[in-house]
Amino acid sequence: MYRVLNIDVLGIPQDQISGMLANARSRKVDLWEVLAENKQENVVEFYKIVTKYQDKITKATPVEIVYGLVNEINYVSPFLLEETMENQLAIKNLNLLLNIVKTFEIEYRRDNKEIPTIVDLVDYLDLMIEAGDNPAQAEIEDIETVKLLTVHASKGLEFPVVFMVNLVSDRFPTRDRKDQIEIPDELIKETLPMGDAHIQEERRLFYVGMTRAQKYLYLTAAKNYGGKRDKTISGYIGETGIKYNEISSEDVKKVNAQTGLFGKESGYREPKMTKITDFMPAFLSYTQISSFQTCPLKYKYSYVLNIPTPPNHALSFGSTIHDTLRDFHTKLMFEKCSYPDLLAIYEKNWQPLGYLNEEHRQEYFENGKALLKKYYDENASTKTKPLAIEKPFNIKIDGIKFYGRIDRIDPLADGGVEIIDYKTGRAKDQKDVDKDDQVAFYAIGATEALNLKPTKLTYYFVEEGKKVSTTRTTKELATIKDEVKEIVEEIKAGDFKAAPGMHCEWCDYNKICPFAFKG
């Protein structure tokens, strides 16, 4: 609880936290009880948030709780104030954790046929940590940082400089903790090591740690770590034959806390400004171009800073339908596929995240079955086999790599092909489709990367069972490429000005964006 109270965005001063801790200790009560009694506004607000999510423990999924808390306390906002290395890492770490939560929930539902609780998630994270994994440890490439790792987590990695610390008895090697249920030697097929297996395993880990160093290796230990007795140096150091230097506690005290190597005035403790200068990712997509056109700041939040967003039911449903139709048509290319087969594919691909509640989730699930029935009736007996399903392409525009994935490519009698893009939202009319550039961008990809001749460009609005087709001339496609080039130059320049408008209402970042339109 103390660590949670210290989260900067909560705005609870350190002296206030210390006062509550002292109060709890003097009364010999839990800190939570002191929080409940506190009448200061910032503490009251924090208490309300925690109790709100306590009530959701058995009702909401891990994704709903974790994302809800992140949004509720506006956790990301402080990391947007300055583009420091620490802030970038904080956002990346949060992204890693949230992706772990999403993956856990999806796999748990699939494997156990039930909805996990936040307790299940905590148990899973505990197991990850026990296994030596760090659930959320990100890195920024090409930036020198200190990486704090367990020996287990360092396996396979190398660093120019390595510090191995805590090399004293009871810490390295650690005390042997017997398994709660010991397996009889007779049941173990592998050849058992001679001697103390625990000591041998710890010695192997010591060797692993040492061999992570490319140039410099520092082995450190202290006689006292705050306990009543002094520690003895790890026997593994003696086994190396390395002579070590002892530094007296008096000499340690002489190192000034202000001006020492890592003192406050050394500069090592200052946040490192790492203003991003290269805004171009390895690849661009039409989605990224469209995002920049809508609002350059939204593009920055999403693709430069990679600020995480909560799962969205519309995206989950859309991905489910896309994956289902992909697998359906792939199966049809080789064998018959009945409607029950299609439903089985649908259930396998169902993505359950982002819905308001179980009732909302079930409503969409049933709607999906209905639209798939309509789609099946219209497409199952067709004799035209697609040329490709979910066909990826890579092209270069003005030296910049672009990638895309075409939902379906059908052959046409005129020798050309029909580019089909599935949509699960409300159907557009002909006028809007004629102006839409997404399927036209796919036509550029099909022409340049796949050597095809797209003569028909179609949006298939599967919820309404409606197809709306359009065409583009070679000149029109060239114009689109010129527009893309201009957008690329703007991205390179890094001028990500906000473009507030009615679209802000649907933007995933409207709660943290200072320019969001509130009208």
The CATH number assigned to the domain holding 416 equals: 3.90.320
Same domain? For 157 and 124 the reply is: no
Same domain? For 476 and 354 the reply is: yes
What single-letter amino acid sits at 280? M
Q: What is the pLDDT of residues 126-147, one digit of tens each?
A: 888 776 666 656 555 545 667 8
Same domain? For 176 and 323 the reply is: no
- Is the pLDDT higher at 152 or at 470? 470
Q: Of 68, 69, 85, which Cα lies nearest the Cα of 7? A: 69
Number of folded domains in the chain?
3
Is 271 inside any structural domain? no
Is 310 inside any structural domain? yes
Average pLDDT over residues 86-92: 83
Annotate 291-347 with three-state secondary structure. HHHHCHHHHHHHHHCCCCCCCCHHHHHHHHHHHHHHHHHHHHCCCCCCHHHHHHHHH
Is 145 inside any structural domain? no
Is 288 inside any structural domain? yes
Is 137 inside any structural domain? no
For 55, counting Cβ atoms within 10 Å of its Cβ (0-12 exposed, 13-18 middle, 19+ buried), the class is exposed
What whole-number distance in Å separates Cα of residue 52 and Cα of residue 49? 5
Same domain? For 254 and 306 the reply is: no
For 409, counting Cβ atoms within 10 Å of its Cβ (0-12 exposed, 13-18 middle, 19+ buried), the class is buried
Give the domain-ending residue among 266, 296, 322: 266
**What is the pTM (predicted TM-score) of this model?**
0.70
What whole-number distance in Å separates Cα of residue 101 and Cα of residue 311? 11
What whole-number distance in Å separates Cα of residue 4 and Cα of residue 8? 9
Domain hosting residue 243, numbered range = 151-266
Does the pLDDT value for residue 441 go beyond 90? yes
The CATH number of the domain holding residue 165 is: 3.30.160.800
Is 167 inside any structural domain? yes
What whole-number distance in Å separates Cα of residue 106 and Cα of residue 354? 12
Beta bridge partners of 366: none
Give the domain-ending residue among 216, 233, 266: 266
What whole-number distance in Å separates Cα of residue 197 and Cα of residue 188? 14
Same domain? For 358 and 470 the reply is: yes
Handedness of CA 57, 60, 63, 69 (dihedral sign): negative
Same domain? For 313 and 435 the reply is: yes
Give the domain-ending residue among 237, 266, 295: 266
Is 360 inside any structural domain? yes
Same domain? For 355 and 207 the reply is: no
Token couple for 168: 């004293």
Q: Of 183, 452, 441, 400, which Cα lies nearest the Cα of 290? A: 441
Contact 286, 438 (CB under 8 A): yes
Residue 249 binned pLDDT confidence (cut-offs 50, 70, 90): confident
pLDDT at 189: 54
Of 169-173, 180-184, 247-251, highest mean pLDDT:
169-173
Same domain? For 35 and 57 the reply is: yes
Token couple for 339: 């409607």
What whole-number distance in Å separates Cα of residue 46 and Cα of residue 67? 16
Token couple for 153: 């987590």
Does the pLDDT value for residue 164 go beyond 80? yes
SS3 content of the chain, % helix, strand, coil (to 5): 50, 10, 40
In the chain the first and final C-alpha atoms are separated, in Å, by 38
Q: What is the pLDDT of residues 20-52, one digit of tens each?
A: 889 888 988 988 898 899 888 888 998 999 999
What whole-number distance in Å separates Cα of residue 372 and Cα of residue 322? 11
Average pLDDT over residues 179-183: 54
Same domain? For 64 and 170 the reply is: no
Same domain? For 29 and 82 the reply is: yes
What whole-number distance in Å separates Cα of residue 296 and Cα of residue 301? 9
Is 144 inside any structural domain? no
Same domain? For 112 and 168 the reply is: no
